[in-house]
């Protein structure tokens, strides 16, 4: 085992992980809610897949080859059938939808007024109150959030995929005007297409006195997500009516 190297941590930075970064980090595509086979061995493509780490004595991780006390664990990923919102970043999506032009995707503040509105808060408030884009003169229809996760323009619902496409069209330079660094955070990342699955070492199972396994709450919740995602995939592939697709989509969001 390699000797640990001590280093001093100078700072921490918190942000969302981009879909591309999740793909690079992921060591296994998780596709089934099943955890173990009939012999009690972790199922491939399940949440306890051995590529995500080793948590039992005598078992080696299939990614790094390490044993229980040697392997730190590795993340996996779930490919979502349809995009869903990151619930903690709904305010971010709402901010960009209201402050940026629906046509030219620029922050709705005149360039000459940037000096006038020096603080980011004042700048965004001015943009949010704009009824016409000062750059392309497009009339703006207000986007309303019907909590917790439904956006509408008038009576028309905006689905997460549409919103993600809108946010993805905003240029990096315009994102900087909102006080954000596009190299570490883009607004469309608030709409998830891939879900990062934590390593098994983060959510280890325990053995009860009865000898039965008990799984971590996080593992149970991830299983629920996979089941909802599976049902949505199945109905999409079967060509189910859009009303059923929307109901299953909403179910996965919750």
Give me the chain's average pLDDT, please.
91
The token pair that represents 34 in the structure block: 């099943």
Element (H, E) at 77: strand 76-85
CA gap 194, 28 in Å, rounded: 12
User: Residue 161: in which H helix or E strand, if any?
Assistant: helix 160-168
Architecture field, domain 19-84+194-253: Irregular (4.10)
Q: Which of 165, 222, 166, 160 is nearest to 191 (CA)?
A: 160
- The torsion of the CA quartet 162, 167, 169, 174, rounded to 10 degrees, works out to 160
d(CA 34, CA 106): 46
Percentage of the chain lying above the pLDDT 70 cut? 99
Give the pLDDT confidence of 110-123 residue by residue, as tens digits.
Answer: 988 888 887 899 99
pLDDT band at 55 (very low <50, low <70, confident <90, very high): confident
CATH 4.10.860.120 location in the chain: 19-84+194-253
Q: Is the pLDDT of residue 146 over 80?
A: yes
Class of residue 167 by CB neighbours under 10 A (exposed 0-12, middle 13-18, buried 19+):
buried
Mean pLDDT, range 18-45, rounded to an integer: 93
Residue 1's pLDDT band, with cuts at 50, 70 and 90, is low
Q: How confident is the model at residue 165, as a pLDDT?
A: 96
Query: How far is the CA of 167 from the CAs of 52, 73, 87, 130, in angstroms?
Result: 32, 33, 16, 18
> Which of 190, 164, 192 has the alpha carbon at shortest distance from 90?
190
* Burial (Cβ within 10 Å: 0-12, 13-18, ≥19) of residue 231: middle
* Residue 152, pLDDT score: 92
Q: Single out the residue of 172, 155, 168, 180 nearest to residue 83, CA to CA.
A: 168
**What tokens were used for 158?**
């905006």
Enter the pTM of the model: 0.86
> Which residue intervals of 2-57 are DSSP H helices?
19-25
Using pLDDT thresholds of 50, 70 and 90, give the confidence band for residue 124: very high
**Is 195's pLDDT higher than 90?**
yes
Mean pLDDT of 11-31: 93
Cis amide leading into 7 (omega within 30):
no
pLDDT score, position 69? 86
């Amino acid at each position: 085992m390699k000797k640990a190297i001590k280093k001093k941590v100078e700072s921490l930075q918190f942000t969302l992980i981009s879909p591309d970064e999740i793909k690079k980090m992921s060591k296994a595509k998780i596709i089934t809610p099943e955890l173990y086979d009939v012999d009690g061995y972790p199922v491939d493509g399940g949440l306890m897949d051995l590529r995500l780490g080793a948590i039992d004595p005598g078992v080696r991780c299939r990614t790094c080859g390490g044993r229980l006390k040697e392997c730190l664990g590795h993340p996996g990923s779930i490919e979502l059938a349809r995009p869903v919102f990151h619930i903690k970043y709904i305010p971010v999506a709402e901010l960009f939808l209201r402050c940026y032009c629906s046509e030219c995707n620029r922050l709705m503040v005149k360039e000459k007024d940037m000096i006038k509105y020096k603080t980011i808060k004042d700048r965004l408030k001015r943009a949010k109150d704009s009824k016409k884009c000062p750059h392309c003169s497009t009339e703006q229809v207000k986007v309303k959030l019907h909590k917790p996760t439904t956006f509408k323009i008038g009576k028309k619902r905006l689905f997460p995929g549409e919103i993600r496409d809108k946010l993805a069209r905003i240029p990096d330079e315009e994102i900087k005007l909102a006080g954000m660094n596009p190299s570490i955070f883009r607004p469309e990342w608030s709409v998830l297409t891939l879900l990062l699955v934590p390593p098994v070492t983060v959510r280890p199972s325990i053995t009860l006195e009865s000898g039965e396994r008990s799984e971590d709450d996080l593992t149970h919740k991830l299983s629920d997500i996979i089941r909802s995602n599976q049902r949505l995939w199945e109905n999409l592939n079967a060509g189910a009516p859009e009303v059923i697709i929307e109901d299953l989509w909403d179910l996965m969001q919750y």
